[in-house]
A and B are shown apart, each in its own frame.
Chain A
């Protein structure tokens, strides 16, 4: 990472701490902002956040590893989370999963080589009456069929650009 990028990253983190308050209770909101903007939380970020909030970096990494929406591994611009819980299972989530894997050429847990898509499982998304359901970043899709998977991916490629996280570090 370039020095200027590091400075920018630090500046962003300082601004978020300003916004959420410089105490421990601000930790998760700050990490959520980092995750949204950079799609992962690096060792460097954990160190900076720990410094600013005056806690041990191990505490920060303990929090990052606990929550499934936070992580240290870089992910794609679009994180697709397909619900695997019972009501979506009964509505055919396995076929949707298969089609996602086919169209993206990756398995669940993986990221496409171009850094665009990550495929993950989610537990119940609260759309059980309209399954199968999946989230693309923060957007929800319901009644997904193997056929509409393609449209969803195309929509990502076309319209999500502006909302997509910035990829620095490993993927830049």
Chain B
């Protein structure tokens, strides 16, 4: 079942416990400054600076605060969080504990997607071990006054619950419908308390930064996208699996590493991301160019890009929470449009209307799901018009 060899990753070289030890020697604001100096940005996709989020939560007054690890990993083509949780969960739990110290929280929650229930036992075992060895519980590592424990909560099969406010709704026992923002979770999060929500990988890098230093991390990558990143690579390439690359790597370089040089297109960022044609393989994977939570799907020369678009739109139609009209109706209309293209019944004028609808969805949808769901459609229409227009349906 396991195809990725993780033994050469940075995570395999970082000794657990050392990051937490060095964090507990610092004041909370020093920890946050260390993270700020490293330039770490969220690894879940949006790329928000981790230290900024933590500063907001630290500065908000609250009797209780929460550290939430987003392990909902539902973006199509993403599986690096599963690999991290399988092989390096200690680094994740440690990063959460460091976060607890940095913002003044005593409780952590891992929101694990229901599809990964088979990982739960392993993770509960790890948590138990950490409690036994004083890495969790009262006075963590003998630090008087710092209590921290972590609980695992299961999702129940809803992609939208990866969105941080929907995730909090779900933790509170509600339908996973995204909230209006502001207020942000750092002010009004779980149970109305200041809450930081970060991706699995983000917490693991926090631990590494505390061990190896902010300079080490800051020097890797580009001017605005620092450090290393895990990529989940699937599709038409010789070596699919999880890879660690510095941010700023170009698609071309990445394809060479995974044996996908003859690709005709690459989907960067999953269904919510963008479809990049071969002519743009010189572009960089970084927050300033092509941002991604790590999903890379390679399409070989024989792939039908309209089928790709259709698969993505079916996904969004299914996963839209239905709360707001642009997303609920828009995704259904775009999918219908794809079916018309498939039948060879779509005029150029109607296709343009659909693209305008997609742009409206990007602006008018309430949460990131509806704002990003037209991306794949729009980029496939833009780059593969020749392939998707004027189809002659298979003879009936």
In the complex, what residues of A have CB within 8 A of residue B177's CB? 66
Whether A89 pairs with B1 at a CB distance below 8 angstroms is no
Task: Name the one of A25, A86, A138 contacting B76, with C-beta atoms under 8 angstroms.
Answer: A86
Whether B156 pairs with A68 at a CB distance below 8 angstroms is yes
Whether B234 pairs with A28 at a CB distance below 8 angstroms is no
* Interface of chain A residues 105 through 121 with chain B (CB within 8 A): none
Closest to B120 in A: A138
Whether A24 pairs with B173 at a CB distance below 8 angstroms is yes
Closest to A66 in B: B175
Q: Does B164 interact with chain A (Cβ within 8 Å)? A: no
**Known contacts A85-B315, A123-B315; A128/B170 CB under 8 A:** no
Whether B82 pairs with A69 at a CB distance below 8 angstroms is no
9 contacts between A and B (CB under 8 A): A28-B156, A29-B153, A63-B175, A68-B157, A70-B157, A85-B77, A90-B235, A128-B235, A135-B115
Whether A123 pairs with B74 at a CB distance below 8 angstroms is yes
In the complex, what residues of B have CB within 8 A of residue A135's CB? 115
Closest to A30 in B: B173
Task: Name the one of A25, A67, A123, A128 contacting B171, with C-beta atoms under 8 angstroms.
Answer: A25
Task: Name the one of B77, B240, B307, B308 contacting A124, with C-beta atoms under 8 angstroms.
Answer: B77
**Known contacts A28-B173, A124-B74, A126-B82; A87/B115 CB under 8 A:** no
- A142 and B312 alpha carbons, distance in the complex (Å): 21
Q: How far is the CB of A28 from chain B (nearest CB, A)?
A: 6
Interface centre among B156, B158, B308, B314 (most CB of A within 10 A): B156
Whether A89 pairs with B311 at a CB distance below 8 angstroms is yes
In the complex, what residues of A have CB within 8 A of residue B235's CB? 86-87, 90, 128
Interface residues of B, count at CB 8 A: 55
Q: Does B279 interact with chain A (Cβ within 8 Å)? A: no
- A68 and B113 alpha carbons, distance in the complex (Å): 12
Extra pairs beyond A90-B303, A128-B77 (20, CB < 8 Å)? A25-B191, A28-B173, A32-B114, A32-B154, A63-B175, A66-B176, A84-B314, A86-B76, A86-B235, A87-B76, A89-B307, A89-B311, A123-B74, A126-B79, A127-B79, A128-B78, A128-B235, A128-B297, A139-B118, A142-B1
* Interface of chain A residues 63 through 118 with chain B (CB within 8 A): 63, 66-70, 84-87, 89-90
Q: How far is the CB of B254 from chain A (nearest CB, A)?
A: 15
Q: Does B73 interact with chain A (Cβ within 8 Å)? A: yes
In the complex, what residues of A have CB within 8 A of residue B232's CB? 128-129
- A103 and B307 alpha carbons, distance in the complex (Å): 27
**Known contacts A122-B115, A126-B116; A86/B319 CB under 8 A:** no
Q: Does B172 interact with chain A (Cβ within 8 Å)? A: yes
Closest to A27 in B: B173
Q: Does B93 interact with chain A (Cβ within 8 Å)? A: no
Number of A-B contacts (CB under 8 A): 124
Q: How far is the CB of B376 from chain A (nearest CB, A)?
A: 10
In the complex, what residues of B have CB within 8 A of residue A68's CB? 156-158
* Interface of chain B residues 148 through 202 with chain A (CB within 8 A): 153-159, 170-177, 191
Whether B158 pairs with A28 at a CB distance below 8 angstroms is no
**Majority SS at the chain B contact face:** mixed
In the complex, what residues of B have CB within 8 A of residue A165's CB? none
Q: How far is the CB of B151 from chain A (nearest CB, A)?
A: 10
Q: How far is the CB of A53 from chain B (nearest CB, A)?
A: 8
Closest to A87 in B: B234
Q: Does B218 interact with chain A (Cβ within 8 Å)? A: no
User: A-facing mask of B138-156, CB < 8 A → 1, else 0?
Assistant: 0000000000000001111
Whether A129 pairs with B174 at a CB distance below 8 angstroms is no
- A140 and B307 alpha carbons, distance in the complex (Å): 26
Whether B118 pairs with A138 at a CB distance below 8 angstroms is yes
Q: Does B276 interact with chain A (Cβ within 8 Å)? A: no
In the complex, what residues of A have CB within 8 A of residue B242's CB? 129
Q: Does A156 interact with chain B (Cβ within 8 Å)? A: no
Whether A70 pairs with B234 at a CB distance below 8 angstroms is no
Q: Does A26 interact with chain B (Cβ within 8 Å)? A: yes
- A90 and B191 alpha carbons, distance in the complex (Å): 42
**Known contacts A86-B76, A124-B76; A129/B176 CB under 8 A:** no
**Known contacts A86-B297, A138-B117; A70/B156 CB under 8 A:** yes
Q: Does B318 interact with chain A (Cβ within 8 Å)? A: yes
- A137 and B209 alpha carbons, distance in the complex (Å): 38
Q: How far is the CB of A46 from chain B (nearest CB, A)?
A: 13
- A90 and B74 alpha carbons, distance in the complex (Å): 18
Whether A140 pairs with B1 at a CB distance below 8 angstroms is yes
Q: How far is the CB of B290 from chain A (nearest CB, A)?
A: 18
Q: Does A125 interact with chain B (Cβ within 8 Å)? A: yes
- A32 and B312 alpha carbons, distance in the complex (Å): 28
Q: How far is the CB of A126 from chain B (nearest CB, A)?
A: 4
In the complex, what residues of B have CB within 8 A of residue A25's CB? 171-173, 191
